[in-house]
Each structure stands twice: as C-alpha cells, then as structure tokens.
A = this chain, B = another copy of it.
C-alpha cells in the first residue's frame, strides 16, 4: 500500500479522515506509523496528497489530509481480456490497474469455462478489491471501468467497432507473423485471449472488426505475463 485510497465515507470533516478495517490494519502492522508522521493518501478519482497521523489505535486511524498533486497519467489503452479463472483474474486486474489501464472488457471465448461468469470475483467488492489494491500499489486514484461481455459474437459485431474506433486494434496471437509493435503513438485496443488462445473463428471475427494479430515471440506465456509484456512494449 504505497498510497491510502480514500472514499467519501472516510471523511469526518473536509480535511480529516477516520479509517478502520483493512487500511487501519495495514498501517498498524506494516507501516507502523507514529503520530505526527505523514502517509501518502489519495482521494478516489481525485488528487494525491499527504495524511498526517493524528491518532493511531486499534479502534481507528485519524489523519489530517491535504491534496495537491495529480495522479499519474493513464495508459491510453482499452484491454479486451478473455475472462480468466477467478484467481488469475484477481491478479491480472490488480496488475493492469497498477500499470494504468482504465478500461477493461472481460470477454467470453469458447475456451472460457462457463462457471467463471458466476464467480464472486466479477461483482461488487470481489471485483473492486483488486482494482483498489492496484491503485494503492501504483499511487493512483482513478478506478478503471470494467465491462462484462459474456456473449462474444454480439459484442464483437455490434459494440466493438464503436468502442475501438480511432484506436490501433491488436489481438495477441502467438502464431501471428508480425510481432507486437513498440512504443506506439496513439490509443490502442488490445485483445488478449484465454490460456490456449482464441479459436480461429474468434480470431476471424476480431479481424473482421479491424484487429490485427500480433505475436510476442515463440514462447507461450501465461495470460498474466503476456498482458504485462504487451503493455510494456506498446507504451
């Protein structure tokens, strides 16, 4: 937790917050801050600043907060990700949030197990938690938007063209001839398939929607590794 992300309900006055729960525990056990010390804080969706510890006890952490600095710039990318299994999903969401991705579309594919769409990792706190952890890791404040698209064909045919208009459209596809471009200028829509890859029909539909297949070399990588490697190359 390199930044403590603050939400409206944390404020007891315009410049004062009271924290309990996970964030209190972390400050007690990991930061071990003393009264008078300052911690990095950020207002969800807003600025970064510092919080001076006024009180730190088992019952709560009280800080006087002031905000002055913009969060780091986002990555100009929309990530289309074939829904991974819940444990991997949590790790990928945390990781791509820490890298600055602000729009994530979780997509169906023939190789996505149907049960994954019922996972608690897709809803409410289960979905929010890795996003918040990712922001806290990277000292960012702006939560990404996560869209769920459990129907591949209608999404790719009817919604994707508008969603990806004006962007460089790439689909990670290990057998592709061309390799993923480096340091692109301009926004990107990047599609990443499931373990085992998109099936040829799905690659074909993405190509019809303007996506160009690109590879990352002959090694087969885990989804969570491939996504980071692709984003690091592109930006």
List residues of chain A with CB under 8 Å of any chain B CB. 2, 72, 95, 98-100, 137-140, 182-183, 216-222, 225, 228-233
Contacts and interface: CB of A to CB of B under 8 A. Distances in A.
A230 B72 CA distance: 19
Contacts of A139: 218-220
27 contacts: A72-B217, A72-B218, A72-B219, A95-B222, A95-B225, A98-B220, A98-B221, A99-B219, A99-B225, A100-B219, A137-B220, A137-B221, A137-B222, A138-B219, A138-B220, A139-B218, A216-B232, A225-B228, A228-B228, A228-B229, A228-B232, A229-B229, A229-B231, A229-B232, A230-B232, A232-B232, A233-B233
A47 to B, nearest CB: 15
Nearest to A235: B217
In the complex, the count of this chain's copies comes to 2
Contacts of A98: 219-222, 225
Closest 9 CB pairs of A and B: A229-B232, A138-B219, A232-B232, A228-B228, A72-B218, A2-B220, A232-B233, A95-B225, A72-B219
A231 B137 CA distance: 20
A77 to B, nearest CB: 14
